[in-house]
Amino acid sequence: MTSEGVDRVSRRDLIQSAEIITIGTEMLLGDLVDTNTAWMSSRLAALGVGIYRHTTVGDNRERVIGALREAASRSDLVLTTGGLGPTSDDLTNECLAILAGRKMGERSEAREHVDEMFARFGRKPTPSNYKQALFPEGAELIPNPRGTAMGALLDVEGTLFATFPGVPVEMRGMFEETLEPLVRERTEGSIVSRTLHFTGIGESALAEQVQEFLDATDPTVAPLAGQGKVRLRITTRGDDPEDARKKIEPVADEILSRIGKYYFGEDEETLESAVGRLLEERGETLSLAESCTGGLLAKRLTDRAGSSAYFSESVISYSNDAKHRLLGVPEKLLAEYGAVSEEVARAMAEGVRGVSGADYGLSITGVAGPDGGTEEKPVGLVWLGLADAGGTYSRKLDLTAWEASREAIRERSANLAFDFLRRHLDTEVPSGG
Amino acid sequence: MTSEGVDRVSRRDLIQSAEIITIGTEMLLGDLVDTNTAWMSSRLAALGVGIYRHTTVGDNRERVIGALREAASRSDLVLTTGGLGPTSDDLTNECLAILAGRKMGERSEAREHVDEMFARFGRKPTPSNYKQALFPEGAELIPNPRGTAMGALLDVEGTLFATFPGVPVEMRGMFEETLEPLVRERTEGSIVSRTLHFTGIGESALAEQVQEFLDATDPTVAPLAGQGKVRLRITTRGDDPEDARKKIEPVADEILSRIGKYYFGEDEETLESAVGRLLEERGETLSLAESCTGGLLAKRLTDRAGSSAYFSESVISYSNDAKHRLLGVPEKLLAEYGAVSEEVARAMAEGVRGVSGADYGLSITGVAGPDGGTEEKPVGLVWLGLADAGGTYSRKLDLTAWEASREAIRERSANLAFDFLRRHLDTEVPSGG
């Protein structure tokens, strides 16, 4: 990665604090949701680096330089995303050069990289594309095997700057392949977090049961709630990961002894991955019959690689005709009780289990809105059905008091549907049926 | 909304600039992706308010006050999200009081609101919940009909502060019902944007064809690319919305005369909503047969309210058995060509059209990874099938050169599948078949 005339980035000093700067007027205008910053933050936190601040500024030379300068005054490491493209409003590396008092110069390895990437996709670069070969003099380059924009690493008076493109898949690869090993060499000790996931209990009711841990400073325990779930993140620092984990364990054990009945998994676990894991362990299979969620349950279940081991199929029966034809829901039931009813939810679950031969059939039918609600069946009324060899179960979800959007009703009812099945697999007795 | 002893927020001065501050250690740690800031930004931009900066800080008194003070020195309006909860690390209103040099005091209307919200969900507040009734003296309250946390509006030396909870559905309601009307009174003229969406052309190839508009300052034209799509956002300011729209029109017309063949819609339009709109206009229906996307196509199609008018069902045939049983794909085809093949994609499309009676059957089968790729059928190989009364068409997607995640391959192939159907509906001849 080094070449003649390029400074090696100093690796002597410890990196204890970091900031992330997102550069792009489109972010300030709200055209895009920034997912890069959360991803980078979570990676840095795991490396034991404290994060002071996130900042977003537009494509404006003065404001970008201002943000870089402020961050340098506070933090050991400053990461930027965005502003590395070929157009005239892509200013990040130029602003970094101005801050560092360096000139911009073309780097042959970056020019060759642009040529190679274009060749791979069978296209020809235009003159403007070679703007991506210009870097502050003395910068180390961050290779980008997934796109044309390489990044720059440059030490400016003791603060290490690293510039990344805004395209998530490119940024993530560059972070993992180049930045992470470098930061790892310059941190001491480890910060370890363990996240416990709960469902079926509200945030404040949960907080009251574990209040002294929330008030403690080491390990810290932070609650986080959303869409019917509450997480507790337990964090501490140790000489090494093993040491930190040992400090977390008794806290986690005590929390679980108090509120374990609401617990469903740790760290990256989601309700759907918990369901997937349980099915995998039991060697059982699931099929789905979705109406109001329109594919969301299946989409979430198949987000997990390897889901084909326990998931064979889903029938999204949006129309009554499809409910009858594909799932065998009797027309009489549909006429008598309507599509959003306990009877139809049960028949959908039994139907999909029957046609698929899966061990479990899970169904959902409801009114997601914003239209289509009636006094009897308002927006937010959802029925779940679950069929297995032992019988058929059902559960009513009432999301009406909570004046939510179509999107939120679909998300929350999907969570509750996965939880319904998860509790059943965990051999708890379902609430209905 | 006013009550004794409460200052009316000054409505005399114009609001020209704003900043958004997100408060919460969980955001700095990357536990959550912040979608509130983009939403607020896009609403403020539409009101003609320029946005200078987004900042995120942790639940730390000194750093929150620091961020509030810096923002006040730059902007007329400062919005915060987060830190309004009942726990001890919820500090936002307290920090605002310190900045303003005011005391915190309990507000009876906020206390009653907490009681009412708990009663609605059949629960009892705990003493800590009444922390949400404490506000800086003199603040106006922002009603929150969807949650317990009301917000505060307070003018501090000419900068208007408004505090919002972090729960998106609550924040959005409060913004629309209270803040938006207030900001509208204090802005002059209008900023209007029109966003044109394109697909089938790369960002730099597109930029070259409309370069002089990208370089122009009024209207401004900003490109934005992602997952096989490119957007151009045309923005200008006018005395009123009509005046601004008139300035945008000739620019949009000229752009469309050059690259109209890649255009698919405006503003909120997505590829799936364009498909939905076209089907609706033609009075036709669609059914889906998904394999590798596992429900994502159906989920996106049904994100749009009213989709039941043109979408009846989707079969997510994740297993070969389901492809055969539900869609009638011959076992011989599956054995001879494999599930990811042109032949099976075509049979799936024909199959789902046949069982559903829909006008169009659209199918997708591919290798989303990260496992399951072979030399012959690598991760990123995807086949699309499309059947209608006139015949069956197919298209191969090669997403292999682009080393993407499972999630990105599913998203991009879903985009390309919707585009395949959209072009067909637009009476362009599909590329395959």
pLDDT digits (tens, 9 = 90+) for A235-263: 898 888 889 999 999 999 999 999 999 99
User: Using 50, 70 and 90 to split pLDDT, how confident is the model at A432?
Assistant: very low
Domain match, B197 and B169 both: no
> B266, B300, B328: which is the final residue of a domain?
B266
Domain match, B205 and B278 both: no
Domain match, B232 and B331 both: no
**A51 touching B (Cβ < 8 Å):** yes
Show the DSSP H helices in A107-210 as ranges.
108-120, 168-174, 180-185, 203-209
Can you give the CATH number for the domain in which A387 is found? Answer: 3.90.950.20
pLDDT at A430: 38
Q: Is the pLDDT of residue A66 over 60?
A: yes
Which stretches of chain B drop beneath a pLDDT of 50?
Answer: 1-11, 428-433
Q: What is the pLDDT of residues B78-124, one digit of tens each?
A: 999 999 998 888 999 999 999 999 999 999 999 999 999 988 878 88
A215–B403 C-beta distance less than 8 A: no
Domain match, B367 and B258 both: no
pLDDT at A429: 41
Tokens in use for B110? 């906020």
Give B-chain residues touching A288 at CB under 8 angstroms.
316
Residue A97: in which H helix or E strand, if any? Answer: helix A92-100
- Which of B172, B176, B313 is the best mutation test for A, with the most CBs of A within 10 A? B313
Q: Which of residues 151-190 of A touch B (CB under 8 A)?
A: 167-169, 173
A37–B51 C-beta distance less than 8 A: no
Q: Which of residues 212-241 of A touch B (CB under 8 A)?
A: 214-215, 222-224, 226, 231, 233
Domain match, B155 and B223 both: no
* Residue of chain B whose Cα is closest to the Cα of A311: B318
- Looking at the structure of chain B, the number of domains it has is 3
pLDDT at A124: 86
Q: What is the pLDDT of residues A336-380, one digit of tens each?
A: 999 999 999 999 999 999 999 999 999 999 998 888 889 899 999
Instruction: Number of A to B CB contacts under 8 A, please give it.
Output: 296
Domain match, A313 and A420 both: yes
Can you give the CATH number for the domain in which A205 is found? Answer: 3.30.70.2860
- Residue A432 forms part of a structural domain: no
User: Using 50, 70 and 90 to split pLDDT, how confident is the model at A3?
Assistant: very low
Domain encompassing residue B350:
271-425
Give A-chain residues touching B87 at CB under 8 angstroms.
204, 207, 214, 223
pLDDT at B296: 96
- Residue A229 forms part of a structural domain: yes
CA R_g for chain B: 27
> Which of B53, B80, B22 minimizes the C-alpha distance to A63?
B53
Q: Is the dihedral of CA B105, A53, B59, A206 positive or negative?
A: positive
Q: Is the pLDDT of residue A410 over 80?
A: yes
Q: How far apart are alpha carbons A187 and A16 in whole angstroms?
A: 7
pLDDT at A29: 86
Give B-chain residues touching A42 at CB under 8 angstroms.
29-31
> B205, B237, B266: which is the final residue of a domain?
B266
Give me the amino acid identity at A270: T
Domain match, B116 and B76 both: yes
**A401 touching B (Cβ < 8 Å):** yes
Beta-bridge partner residues of A298: none
**Residue A374: DSSP 8-state:** -
* Residue of chain B whose Cα is closest to the Cα of A52: B57
Give B-chain residues touching A51 at CB under 8 angstroms.
28-29, 58
**B3 touching A (Cβ < 8 Å):** no
Q: Which residues of B54-74 are buried (b: 16+ CB within 10 A; e: fewer)?
A: bbbbbbbeebbbbbbebbbee
- Residue B170 forms part of a structural domain: yes
Q: Which of residues 53-72 of B touch A (CB under 8 A)?
A: 53-58, 63, 67
pLDDT at B192: 84
Contact at 8 Å (CB) between B42 and A31?
Answer: yes
Domain match, A160 and A35 both: yes
A157-161 — which CB contacts under 8 Å span 24+ positions?
A157/A72, A158/A13, A158/A76, A159/A71, A159/A72, A159/A75, A159/A76, A159/A77, A159/A78, A160/A9, A160/A10, A160/A15, A160/A76, A160/A77, A160/A78, A161/A68, A161/A72, A161/A78, A161/A79, A161/A80, A161/A96
Q: How far apart are alpha carbons B58 and B75 in whole angstroms?
A: 21
Residue A127's Cβ-count burial label (10 Å; 0-12, 13-18, 19+) is exposed
Contacts of A428 (CB under 8 A, 6+ apart): none
What's the average model confidence in pLDDT over A38-45?
92
Q: Which of residues 91-110 of A touch B (CB under 8 A)?
A: none
Give B-chain residues touching A412 at CB under 8 angstroms.
none
User: Using 50, 70 and 90 to split pLDDT, how confident is the model at A137?
Assistant: very high
**Residue A139: DSSP 8-state:** P
- Residue A387 forms part of a structural domain: yes
Domain match, B132 and B277 both: no
Can you give the CATH number for the domain in which B53 is found? Answer: 3.40.980.10
Q: In A186-228, where do the E strands start and end?
A: 190-199, 220-226
Q: How far apart are alpha carbons A264 and A195 in whole angstroms?
A: 11
**A120 touching B (Cβ < 8 Å):** yes
- Count the neighbouring beta carbons within 10 Å of the beta carbon of residue A102: 16
Q: Which of residues 414-433 of A touch B (CB under 8 A)?
A: none
Contact at 8 Å (CB) between B110 and B132?
Answer: yes
Question: How many angstroms separate the CA of residue A223 from the nearest CA in chain B?
Answer: 9
- Residue B2 forms part of a structural domain: no
Using CB atoms, pick whichever of B32, B41, B51 lies closest to residue A38. Answer: B32
Domain match, B40 and B157 both: yes
A318–B316 C-beta distance less than 8 A: no
**Strand, coil or helix: what is A251?**
helix
Q: How far apart are alpha carbons A54 and A303 in whole angstroms?
A: 29
- Count the neighbouring beta carbons within 10 Å of the beta carbon of residue B282: 11
Q: Is the dihedral of CA B305, B311, B313, B316 positive or negative?
A: negative
Domain match, B258 and B277 both: no
> Which of B85, B169, B174 minimizes the C-alpha distance to B129?
B85
A31–B35 C-beta distance less than 8 A: no
Half-sphere exposure (Cβ direction) of B91: Cα atoms closer than 13 Å: 20
- Residue B432 forms part of a structural domain: no
pLDDT at A402: 66
Give A-chain residues touching B356 at CB under 8 angstroms.
322
Domain match, A49 and A174 both: yes
- Residue B12 forms part of a structural domain: no
B32–A224 C-beta distance less than 8 A: yes
Give A-chain residues touching B226 at CB under 8 angstroms.
32, 167
> B241, B266, B291: which is the final residue of a domain?
B266
pLDDT at A403: 66
- Residue A96 forms part of a structural domain: yes
Q: pTM for the full model? A: 0.81
